[in-house]
Structure 1
Amino acid sequence: MSIISSTDSSTKKATASTTTTLSQRLTAAVCASILGACLVYFAGFSHIEAVHNAAHDTRHSSAFPCH
């Protein structure tokens, strides 16, 4: 028993190209900025001590002045 493999020379490979417009990139940047600001505000002013301390320790470990 033998297996015969053939390739079809007329088969074309489709290339997928993704292009984003400027408005899509700006929308993504604005959404990411708002999400980041909300996370920083939540962690900085959280009354949950574990969240605040985790953010505080992270700032110190990355040499970011926080106080």
Structure 2
Amino acid sequence: MSTISSTGHSSSASATTLTQRLTAAVFASILGACLVYFAGFSHIEAVHNAAHDTRHSAAFPCH
């Protein structure tokens, strides 16, 4: 049984939204880590150089 708050939304709908947000954040973090790992350790020179140049253009120290 869900309760309705003063905003008119049920508490179970809020919990589902939070769960969906956390799930999306976890998957986005995993995808981002995979992309960084792929670009950083890629043997394809163009991919590695593109990531390297992007880090330099963002003033991020990489070495």
Scaled to the shorter chain, the TM-score interval is 0.7 to 0.9
Larger radius of gyration: 1
Where in structure 1 are there 5+ consecutive unaligned residues?
A: 1-18
Q: After TM superposition, where is structure 1 displaced by more than 4 Å over at least 4 residues in a row?
A: none
1:56 pairs, out of 46, 52, 55, with 52
Residue correspondences, number: 49
More helix by share: 2
Where in structure 2 are there 5+ consecutive unaligned residues?
A: 1-13
Q: What's the RMSD between the two structures over aligned residues? A: 1.3
Q: With structure 2 as the length reference, what TM-score do the two structures score?
A: 0.74
1:37 pairs, out of 10, 22, 33, with 33
1-side partners of 2:43 and 2:19: how far apart?
37
Identity across aligned pairs (percent)? 92
